[in-house]
Chain A
């Protein structure tokens, strides 16, 4: 089973993100960039399927040169090949542009299954996977918290508001996975060494035959960015054995009990 996993490099989630006030793009300077932790679950899912059913995992990323580091990490975990699409024109891409680029690169590779995370840690539009599926003309089984395959079809436990749905899907398909789907492996030292010599295709949008993608074509423009209204902090007490009484008084005061 040939699996393509979409991976994104994001500012370290432990630092607070910021938009550049001038360009209104995500500020990437001065913050450490990492492989989106959410994508590690997709890589792991792809590796497990390829190990069980043959085939290989290719990781595809759209991002600046530096995103090569994220691809290398995926290769170190065990992916066989990377594809990085970088282009100045792609700066400021919206979800749909991103999806067009990813879908074109995935088509070029060929695939039985495409795996993504449910949402990126920095942008979290959570719509790229569905868009990619539409552009590839295949079903999208999103929010998979469990994923099994016999090599020809998929059995997915898909999160819902009230529990989960069991979904059966034929291949090819797109699946987006949550953090409950597996326990991602750490790259081994051997894996890290091997990653250095694994192939990474570097592509531009022109090489993918795309035009009309990127920041300049976005159908939306950010007009303002403002800090959200903050809640005022209230009373903070140390528990001296009386805190429970205080909580009950508080509940009484709000008339919920």
Chain B
């Protein structure tokens, strides 16, 4: 059963489609059949051209202000469910962001169809199947969607590389599903950004992450200093995020961000699988840990058994001396 139509839910960030939306469109193009996008944002029409360039031939655009002011889960699932009824897609790809997970869960319940989460790859030769990782990405499971359609896949960021397909302007189809009163019960009153200066964690060529081994929140300052010298970004393990040392936006791992920098430097991080799932795709990994048996060394291209609080400042000195 080949795929006739794949949909991608595209989120909008700062007036542009989210990177993961472009990754998903790139993948959708390879599945055969039509590639179409759904955008629910007051800025939906502005991003349609880019979505077209990455492969969407049709963009369903919902521009209700409510998509920005309310939580997207309820209104998003309603809008997509009504489109599904009219257009019967076989597969819906949704990025595993916060809003993405909310929409996917509600949509699956609404349509009574399965959703597979933590997806790393999808295939559609014969059956529609998804590869996902379980147990902290130590094992890869291939799951086939049975006959119920659409199949919904919640895909992790950076599972595919985004490549423009050179497509032209898509047909923009307005979505005119009214937002149900019931969804107005929860609204966003303020959006607070606590991301640090410098390059974004997901885009930086060097990511320097700290864990509980740094001993004290103030020691993150040395990671910040190193990051600013090499134009990198600072990440963290969940242990220190939960402890309130650093904001959640810095968390790398299963419940945090997925990063694939050229170099990832783990300082005082043990290497629990829930952390490594978010960074093991890095091209090179350096680990600094006191404990020679720390699991992080199993992934490291360069492992230093030592005190991060000594080694990192020495690296900073070396770099400064080098000019």
Contacts and interface: CB of A to CB of B under 8 A. Distances in A.
A28 B115 CA distance: 24
Contacts of A129: 105
A18 to B, nearest CB: 8
Contacts of A142: 71, 73, 98, 101-102
A16 B276 CA distance: 14
B187 A219 contact: no
B101 A224 contact: no
A230 B150 CA distance: 33
Interface in A215-247: 218-228, 230-231, 233-239, 243-247
A248 B300 contact: no
A73 to B, nearest CB: 20
Interface string A154-194: 00001111111111111001000011100000000000000
A169 B314 contact: no
Contact of A130 (B104, B113, B183): B104
Contact of B154 (A17, A127, A236): A127
B114 A130 contact: no
B318 A225 contact: no
Interface string B280-323: 10011110100010000111111111110011001101110010
Interface size class of B (residues with CB under 8 A): 35 or more
Interface string B173-191: 0000000001101111111
Given A143-B98, A161-B98, A167-B71, A96 B109 contact: yes
Contacts of A180: 241-242, 244, 248
Interface string B1-33: 000000000000000000000000000000000
Contacts of A254: 262-263, 283-284
B118 interface: yes
A137 B102 contact: no
Contacts of A126: 101, 105, 117
What is the predominant secondary structure among interface residues of chain B facing chain A? mixed
B135 A16 contact: yes
A168 B71 CA distance: 10
A145 interface: yes
A19 B143 CA distance: 14
A169 B186 contact: yes
Interface stretch (B42-50, B57-65, B192-200, B213-221): B192-200
Interface stretch (A74-82, A83-91, A117-125): A117-125
Interface in B137-173: 137-146, 148, 154
A4 B50 CA distance: 44
B186 A167 contact: yes
A142 B218 CA distance: 30
Contacts of B182: 137-139
B299 A223 contact: no
A119 B241 CA distance: 17
A137 B232 CA distance: 44
B134 A17 contact: yes
A133 B106 contact: yes
Nearest to B251: A159
A95 interface: yes
B125 interface: no
A218 B145 CA distance: 9
A128 interface: yes
B109 to A, nearest CB: 4
A219 B105 contact: no
Nearest to B129: A223
Given A17-B134, A165-B190, A244-B315, A233 B195 contact: no
A135 interface: yes
Interface in B99-132: 101-102, 104-106, 108-110, 112-118, 129
B37 interface: no
Nearest to B232: A256
A44 interface: no
Given A248-B319, A256-B206, A131 B106 contact: yes
Contacts of B303: 233-237
Nearest to B182: A137
Nearest to A95: B115
A16 B134 CA distance: 11
- Most chain-A CB neighbours within 10 Å: which of B135, B297, B307? B135
A106 interface: no
B50 to A, nearest CB: 19
Instruction: Name the 5 nearest CB pairs between A and B, nearest first.
Output: A239-B306, A130-B105, A219-B114, A244-B314, A234-B301
22 contacts: A126-B117, A127-B154, A139-B73, A139-B182, A160-B98, A163-B249, A165-B191, A166-B189, A168-B186, A180-B244, A220-B145, A222-B143, A223-B144, A228-B139, A231-B280, A238-B292, A243-B288, A246-B304, A247-B318, A248-B315, A250-B263, A251-B263
Given A125-B118, A139-B183, 20 more contacts: A96-B108, A124-B254, A133-B73, A133-B106, A137-B182, A142-B73, A145-B248, A161-B98, A163-B192, A221-B146, A231-B285, A233-B298, A238-B292, A238-B305, A243-B306, A247-B318, A250-B301, A250-B302, A254-B283, A257-B319
